[in-house]
Amino acid sequence: MSAEMSVEPLFQKLHDDPALTADNGPAASSTALWNDVDVLQWQQLVEYFAQQKSQQFAPFGESLIRRGLGLVLDHKQPETIVSPQLANLSLLFHAASGADDSFRALVLNLLSSVPVEETWQEFVTLVTVAAPQTPQTAVVAMTPLFRSTPSDLIAVLFPKLADQLGQLSLAAPILDLANYYTRQGCSSVHPLRDHALTLASMLRQLTQEMLCLEERTPESHDQLVRLGQQVNDAVAIMIGLLDALALIDDNQHAAVIYPLLEIAHRRLRVEAAAALARLGESVGEESLIAMAAERAVRLTVLAYAEELGIDQRIDTVYRVPEARAEGELVAWLAEPTQFAMPPDEMSLFDQRSLNWPGYDEPVDCFLFRFGYSRDTGSFENIGISGPISKTVSSDLLDLPPQQIYALFAGLDSEHDDIYELHVESETATRHVARLLARIPQEEYWVDQPLWLGVFFEYRVLVVTADRNSAKGTLIIDEECLQWYPTGNPNRPVEPEQAYAIYKGRRLLNAFNDGFTS
């Protein structure tokens, strides 16, 4: 029986799935339907779609490959699933338009998930023909390659992948992969050792480009975003190059690294210093030790110094728990998803050891006050480090330390017995009415009930209210009422933060004798 005939009913079932609409994209078919597809059906679907027009296949592409990945991960001999379909997977890969980069990355991910020579050869062939278009999809494609790998399989990838180092999207993961195989002892020599001169040349060129980027002043927000992306892309590649040259361990390449010690980018200076230190250059060690004073890179410096056995030469003030916690929070604040730069000022606000939710032993907790100053204005707030690194947009400067700890503990809490209900749901209405009746009408004017919280045995009502003409959040349970003023109107304490304080207060009081908020 042909694949087309045997799989046609299954295809029709998937096609008729009401979850599949024009609006919900390539992976639209329900998970339940795809989870029922077995190995034989999956292989038949791959063959079937490889014979069809690409537009008929398009709505199912990512779902098909994801199901293949699921089957591969659960199978003792994954090559028996994928290898017979290499030609058909290649057809599907080529049939996908260049715009469908995520689908192609998933196909490459599937191939790289099966560690046998023929699938990895096909991976190299396809990635050479159509490289992933972004660093993100390149990571998706190559992540399964980062595993304990015998030398004969490494030889399938290298040196062929070296020819793709000129691809912006592939350069960093290729370098990281070669470095990984060396560091894990999978390869007795660095897979890119014979390309060391090329790597040094790439680093020299990127260093010049980075110096030019640092001198450029963006004139608009869009230019700033583009400049930031260019810097991030270059940094990822340069870190891989520095690591590779250090692992190749040829001192003749030290000269190309030295200029990076003068660059403004802190992380690159740290990586350059560490690479030089590994190559036996004393200047690298001294530079690394000095950079422990810089909060934004302190943790990376300490990690490299410990690896190199020179950590005891770093001033103790930068190695104590407070200094490490400060470095953790600064590194978090400097992430692109947060403030994208380290704060200008930081000082310790409070420190104590607490039994923290999710930890078996007491945790050293630190609150730091931090600030940013710019021509357009300033920003100050409080952040936590220790159990988690975090801050919020709400202004915390006027809150006592206990409430701030409670806020972060509440935000960090997850449990099956902690959840919220809509106030008008059948389960909630009786509790909402009962808790509303507990509010002193002469003291509070209720604006709006927001939700009913279930916190273990407690039922907790969260409402917005007015008290003496001031707005805030009122939280009511069977035992007490808690009032949280809005505070700074530009950065108010929202109901979500107020409820987090309530939850954190309950948790920290339960785990810590004498803790009050």
DSSP for 56-91, written as a single string = HHGGGHHHHHHHHHHHHHT-S-THHHHGGGHHHHHH
How do the domains of the chain map onto residue ranges? 1-145, 148-319, 331-391, 399-517
Contact 195, 186 (CB under 8 A): no
Whether 376 shows a pLDDT value over 80: the answer reads no
Summarised one tens digit per residue, pLDDT across range 294-347 is: 999 999 999 999 999 999 999 999 999 999 999 999 999 999 889 989 999 999
Q: What end-to-end distance do the CA atoms of the chain give, in Å?
A: 72
Q: What is the pLDDT of residue 32?
A: 66
Q: What is the pLDDT of residue 229?
A: 82
Sheet containing 345-354: give its strands across.
Answer: 345-354, 363-374, 377-385
How many angstroms separate the Cα of 365 from the Cα of each of 101, 368, 407? 43, 10, 13
DSSP string, 33-54: HHHT--HHHHHHHHHHHHTS-H
Least confident of 13-27, 133-147, 343-357: 13-27
Residue pointed to by tokens 């600030």: 371
Q: What is the pLDDT of residue 98?
A: 67
Distance CA 156, CA 123 (A): 10
This prediction has a pTM of 0.82
Distance CA 273, CA 87 (A): 47
Residue type, 174: I
Q: Which residue has the higher pLDDT, 26 or 506?
A: 506
Give the 3-state secondary structure percentages of the chain, helix then strand then coil, rounded to 5: 55, 15, 30
Average pLDDT of the residues of the chain: 90
From the number of C-beta atoms within 10 Å of its C-beta (0-12, 13-18, 19+), residue 182 rates as buried
Tokens encoding 410: 């509440």
Q: Return the ∠ at Cα 72 (arms to 37 and 119), rounded to 5°.
A: 120
Tokens encoding 168: 């912006």
Q: Which residues contact 47 (CB under 8 A, 6 or more apart)?
A: 3, 7, 85, 88
Q: What is the pLDDT of residue 17?
A: 54
Helix (H, G, I), strand (E, B) or coil at 375: coil
Q: Which residue has the higher pLDDT, 6 or 515?
A: 515
Whether 29 shows a pLDDT value over 50: the answer reads no
Whether 349 shows a pLDDT value over 60: the answer reads yes
Summarised one tens digit per residue, pLDDT across range 119-143 is: 999 999 999 999 999 999 999 999 9
Tell me what the mean pLDDT of segment 105-131 comes to. 96
Q: How confident is the model at residue 12 (pLDDT cuts 50, 70, 90)?
A: low
Q: Which residues contact 55 (CB under 8 A, 6 or more apart)?
A: none
Q: Which residue has the higher pLDDT, 471 or 36?
A: 471
Bridge partners of 221, per DSSP, are none
Tell me what the mean pLDDT of segment 264-273 comes to. 96
Q: How confident is the model at residue 26 (pLDDT cuts 50, 70, 90)?
A: very low
Distance CA 175, CA 177 (A): 5
Percent of the chain with pLDDT over 70: 92
Tell me what the mean pLDDT of segment 256-266 comes to. 95
DSSP string, 434-462: HHHTTS-TTT-EEEEEEEEEEETTEEEEE
Distance CA 239, CA 246 (A): 11
Summarised one tens digit per residue, pLDDT across range 38-96 is: 999 999 989 988 887 555 566 678 888 999 999 999 899 999 999 999 999 999 999 88
Tokens encoding 499: 């409820």
Q: What are phi and psi of 455, to 5 degrees?
A: -125, 90
Whether 362 shows a pLDDT value over 90: the answer reads yes
